[in-house]
Structure 1
């Protein structure tokens, strides 16, 4: 079984994101970048499936700038077999939108013919949570989102997914698209020998033009602002005072 895992290069989750002074976006100059945490979990799960003998090959793909090669090398060091970089833009400030990403991934899927696409449920930079669902729609495949447990057997994936009311277990026939949640696993620490071996693994480069997909943005960001600072709380002496403040000050009652 072949597994395809899309991975994205994002600002490291330990870095405090700063907005540019002109409000045109977030500051990316001299900022540490890393693999999207949800995608890292997807790579880890794919590697574990290979270690169990369920999967035979893991292909990771990243869409964006040339610098995403570092992200792909990390995935290769974790245990992926091959990597594909789709060079879609030279501008590190351009975020390729989910529909364009899904279309590019559908072209890669048509060429690679994987049995399973394992993806992070969302990227921590835009939080759109849309690419996996769009990809499944374009391919006409079954999908299971927010997976906290995955079992593969008899040409099916049994997925336990997190929903508002608790946990839901569903079965999807392969090939399918599964997006993973934080509680699926704990990604492994990548040791230096694995990093060195990853440099010898194949990394193929393709372009968005070659795949015949237009990545021109359909959305325009008009302004980016810092979140509103939280104000200090107040202590009330009684329930009546609390209700009065919720009505007059907070406006929630």
Structure 2
């Protein structure tokens, strides 16, 4: 599963019209963590067979990210695209994607643990809930044996081993693998791979459950970040340590 997000190397902006992300203000790229998900899906395919289908929800410009994912080696793609989806929040996105997955069918859903724009980290779990499927989140290693799946879930103290039965939803962390670079041959082949477009009606998505007007969360206001202020210089006249400590205390760093 792939999400197109603004390039983190460029300035990201919100639209003053409806307080949503202004996608035209910066270049769109594949969400970095989703590249690890694509790679893991390809590795599983190489080991167990089957096919890898890219699924994304987004505006027409998300086609660029779909083609990039296909050039990595995925077999085909499904693009959920409809003006009615504009402004959908994380839970609405998970609902819409779950409807699309029911439409196209799946054995294993692999996605990144979060996106670099919203950073909610909840879509994987919400998607599993909507699908009624086991969720195996923050996976640093994935093993599939027949209909059984086992992951090492990353934790603060190491990892937990989590097991479930397919179909299931897995979200991965960046240390799970090293995404491959598309070869020229695969880039050319990607141009001919099928991309199915699904509108809200096609995926049997209830329009009353998606879109900005029906979102459970909203951005009330926003402002540009203020310019960085000049730094504070502490001149050591025998009491530099005290001055530094007072400054840190004033800023509530200590």
1:181-192 → structure 2 map (5 Å cutoff): 181-192=173-184
Measure, in 2, the Cα distance between the counterparts of 1:138 and 1:11. 27
Aligned to 1:59: 53
Aligned to 1:123: 115
Aligned to 1:202: 194
Alpha-carbon offset, residue 22 of structure 1: 9.0
1:154-165 → structure 2 map (5 Å cutoff): 154-165=146-157
CA contact (8 A) 2:12 2:25 kept: no
Aligned to 2:41: 46
Aligned to 1:250: 251
Runs of 5+ unmatched residues, structure 1: 1-5
Name whichever structure is richer in helix by fraction: 2
Residue 63 of structure 2, aligned match among 69, 73, 89 = 69
CA, structure 1 residues 178+189, in 2 after alignment: closer, same or farther (shift >3 Å)? same
Aligned to 2:79: 85
Cα deviations by residue, 1:138-189 (Å, 9 ceiling, x for unpaired):
1111111111111111322211122223322211221110001111111111
1:90-239 → structure 2 map (5 Å cutoff): 94-210=86-202, 211-214=204-207, 215-217=210-212, 218=215, 219-227=217-225, 229=228, 232=231
Task: State the superposition RMSD in angstroms.
Answer: 2.7
Runs of 5+ unmatched residues, structure 2: none
Q: SS of the residue aligned with 1:186? A: coil
Q: SS of the residue aligned with 1:29? A: helix
Measure, in 2, the Cα distance between the counterparts of 1:226 and 1:146. 32
> Please, which moves more after superposition, 13-22 or 137-146?
13-22
Alpha-carbon offset, residue 126 of structure 1: 0.7
CA, structure 1 residues 29+106, in 2 after alignment: closer, same or farther (shift >3 Å)? closer
Measure, in 2, the Cα distance between the counterparts of 1:185 and 1:24. 36
Measure, in 2, the Cα distance between the counterparts of 1:212 and 1:22. 26
Measure, in 2, the Cα distance between the counterparts of 1:176 and 1:230. 49
CA, structure 1 residues 24+30, in 2 after alignment: closer, same or farther (shift >3 Å)? closer
Name whichever structure is richer in strand by fraction: 1
Measure, in 1, the Cα distance between the counterparts of 2:145 and 2:229. 49
CA, structure 1 residues 230+183, in 2 after alignment: closer, same or farther (shift >3 Å)? farther
Aligned to 2:31: 36
Q: SS of the residue aligned with 1:61? A: strand
Alpha-carbon offset, residue 16 of structure 1: 3.8
Alpha-carbon offset, residue 252 of structure 1: 5.6
CA, structure 1 residues 21+212, in 2 after alignment: closer, same or farther (shift >3 Å)? closer
CA, structure 1 residues 169+226, in 2 after alignment: closer, same or farther (shift >3 Å)? farther
Residue 9 of structure 2, aligned match among 10, 14, 17 = 14
TM-score, structure 2 as length reference: 0.84
TM-score, structure 1 as length reference: 0.84
CA contact (8 A) 2:36 2:177 kept: yes
Alpha-carbon offset, residue 212 of structure 1: 2.5
